[in-house]
Amino acid sequence: MNEQQNIRFSCIVGFAVLVFASISLFFLALSVGQVDIPLKEIVSAFYDYESTTQVNRTIIMEARLPMAVTAVLAGASLSISGLLLQTVFHNPLAGPSLLGVSSGASLGVALLMMGGFTGIATTNSEVSAWLYLMFGAIAGAISVISILVSLIAKNRYGLMLIIIGKSQTKKDSLP
C-alpha cells in the first residue's frame, strides 16, 4: 500500500468508527435515564408494540426519542455550519466569532438586561426571563448578519466581510 491508500483506508476506518459510535450513543440515550430501559425493550417499542409495557413505550416514544433525534440533528447542523464557514473562508480555524455574530448576540442580551427587560410576571418568571434573553441574543445575531449581508451586497469581496466582522469582535477583546 502506498501512502495515499493508507490515508484513504484510515479515513474509511475512522468514518466507520464514528458511525458506530453515533449509533451506539443514540441507543444509549434511549436506554439510560431515570428509568433504565433494556435494549430489547427499545427495539420492541419500535417493532412489536404488544411485548413492550405501556410505560416504557411512552417514555421511549414521547420523551427520549424526540430528545435523541433533536440532539442528532443539532449536532449535524452545527458540524455542517462549521464546515461551510471553514470552506467559504478557506480557513480551518474559522469559528462563529469570525463574523462578529457572537458579539452581536452578546450585545442583544446586554441591551435587554440594561433596558430592564427581565421577563413578564408569570407563574414561572425564571423561564420567561430566559426566553427574553434568548430572543435578545437571536435578535442581536440577526441584526449583525443583516448588516454584514447589506454591506457585502455592495462590496463582493470575502475579505471585506472578514474585516467588518473582525472589527466588531476586536472591541470585545480590549481590556
Binning the chain into helix, strand and coil, the percentages to the nearest 5 are 80, 0, 20
> Which of 62, 75, 69 lies closest to 27, judged by CA?
69
pLDDT value for 157: 63
Position 138 pLDDT exceeds 90: yes
DSSP 3-state assignment of 53? coil
Q: Which residue blocks in 59-100 are alpha helix, DSSP H?
A: 65-88
pLDDT band for 165, please (50, 70, 90 cuts). Answer: low
pLDDT of residue 5: 86
The dihedral through the CA atoms of 170, 171, 173, 175 has a sign that is positive
Structure-model confidence comparison of residues 97 and 146, the more confident one: 146
Q: What gap in Å lies between CA 58 and CA 47, rounded to an integer?
A: 14
Contact 100, 144 (CB under 8 A): yes
pTM over 0.75: no
Q: Element (H or E) spanning 141, and its range?
A: helix 125-154
Flag the least confident range among 10-19, 36-45, 110-119, 166-175: 166-175
DSSP label of 61: I
Q: Which of 94-108, 115-129, 131-145 has the lowest mean pLDDT?
A: 115-129
All three cell numbers of 119, joined, read 421577563
Kindly report the average pLDDT of the chain as a whole number: 81
Amino acid at 97: S
**How many other C-beta atoms are found inside a 10 Å radius of the C-beta of residue 167?**
10
- Whether 10 shows a pLDDT value over 60: the answer reads yes
How far apart are the C-alpha atoms of 110 and 112, rounded to whole Å? Answer: 5
Determine the pLDDT at residue 70: 94
